[in-house]
A and B are shown apart, each in its own frame.
Chain A
Amino acid sequence: MKYLKQFLIILAITFLGELVKYLLPFPIPASIYGMILLFAALMTGIVKLEQVRDTGRFLIEIMPAMMIPAGVGLMVSWDALKKMLIPVIIITLVSYFPVQIVTGHIAQFIIRRKEEKVNE
């Protein structure tokens, strides 16, 4: 019963996310609105962590399995992929590095400066 109750709370919030998506004009998936709503509900105490935690963790743990059908869909989009295969490979490889380097160095720079200030 506990899991069903938790699942119901999660589904209800997901539904509210769909409702927000329906009302707002942005290209934002319903899941993002739902995530923000659940976060707000946890922050304000409307939903307690114990009321969603176990089922939520389970869903997150098995999340990769939910993406299999989309991945298998490559079968049907092979024609589209074939046309852009080389740019896709180049962009995927090349763009990885600047993202990691910039993120790491900006974080490091700010934290180090803060630590120096504390030490002074």
Chain B
Amino acid sequence: MSNFLNDSLFAGVSISLIAYMIGVFLNNKYKMPLFNPLLVSVILSIVVLIVADVDYEVYNAGASYLSWFLTPATVCLAIPLYEQLHVLKKNWFAIILAIVSGVITSSVTILVLSKIMKLNHKEYVTLLPKSITTAIGMGLSEEMQGYVTITVAVIIITGVIGNVLGEAVCKIFRITHPVAKGLSLGTSAHVLGTAKAMEMGDVEGAMSSLSIVVAGLMTVASSIVFSNLI
């Protein structure tokens, strides 16, 4: 059996997608951010591979065809950005300045904490893209030679934190303007923060999805500078 699995090109993709569908199902049924489909599918796939005693390389020989789509899909993020251009135009100064500040805050916090905890360069650049969307963060981590898989895990966990606590943070710290709420969620917790923002309102949702792309691009720019600091 495991011999057959070792030769199959479609086993990896099938396992991943079945696990993903289970994640989507759980997420719809229990509306809990911990049942994030990506998180569920990654854990389930790892369990299946360990139980069936299949190496990651074997799994990835097939599953890597899934990753292949990530680059063109990321290119397509230009489409929602273009569609929301009118929202950006209206408050462009506040939006750009707020997102730039958020991105710099993220980089500075990670830099300071990494210095305190004596992380090495590779570990530090792994964490730099933690607030941005996985699509951009993965590529960025790879370019900076971080541990891409750890970056992915940290990005998902950051998103889950935003999805669970983001609304409470707005309340406690008196972020009340709908535009500000959306920007803060999208900049700090990418797609998962945006899912929350969309529940909060249309303006919040539009602002949050806009910040995913803008914050992603700015983090790429800021990382060029920050990656040299440790």
| CB pair B78 A36 closer than 8 Å | yes
Q: Does chain A have a CB within 8 A of B5?
A: no
- In the complex formed, the residue of B with least CB distance to A31 is B74
| CB pair A100 B187 closer than 8 Å | yes
Q: Does chain A have a CB within 8 A of B7?
A: no
Q: Does chain A have a CB within 8 A of B185?
A: yes
Q: In the complex, what's the smallest C-beta–C-beta distance from A10 to chain B, in angstroms?
A: 5
Q: Does chain B have a CB within 8 A of A70?
A: yes
> Contacts of B70 on A, CB cut-off 8 Å?
31, 63, 66-67
Q: In the complex, what's the smallest C-beta–C-beta distance from B141 to chain A, in angstroms?
A: 9
Interface code B177-221, partner A: CB below 8 Å = 1, 0 otherwise?
A: 101110111011101000000000000000000010100110010
For chain B, the count of residues having a C-beta within 8 Å of the partner chain is 104
| CB pair B153 A74 closer than 8 Å | yes
Q: In terms of DSSP, what is the predominant structure of the interface of chain B? A: helix
> Contacts of B19 on A, CB cut-off 8 Å?
68
Interface code B77-88, partner A: CB below 8 Å = 1, 0 otherwise?
A: 111111100000
30 pairs across A/B with beta carbons < 8 Å?
A14-B71, A29-B220, A31-B74, A32-B216, A35-B78, A38-B78, A39-B81, A53-B79, A59-B69, A63-B134, A65-B37, A66-B69, A68-B45, A70-B134, A71-B38, A73-B148, A76-B56, A81-B147, A84-B123, A87-B114, A91-B110, A92-B127, A92-B154, A92-B161, A93-B161, A104-B98, A105-B173, A106-B94, A108-B177, A114-B91
Binding site for A on B (CB under 8 A): 12, 16-17, 19-20, 37-39, 41-42, 45-46, 49-50, 56, 59-60, 63-64, 66-67, 69-83, 91, 93-95, 97-99, 101-102, 105-106, 109-110, 113-114, 117, 119, 123, 127, 130-131, 134-136, 138-140, 142-144, 147-150, 152-154, 156-158, 161-162, 165-166, 169-170, 173, 175-177, 179-181, 183-185, 187-189, 191, 211, 213, 216-217, 220, 223-224, 227
Not counting A31-B136, A71-B41, A96-B162, a sample of 19 additional A-B residue pairs whose C-beta atoms are within 8 angstroms of each other reads A14-B71, A27-B144, A27-B224, A28-B140, A28-B143, A29-B139, A29-B142, A34-B74, A35-B217, A39-B78, A56-B76, A64-B37, A64-B191, A66-B66, A67-B135, A99-B105, A104-B175, A104-B184, A110-B94
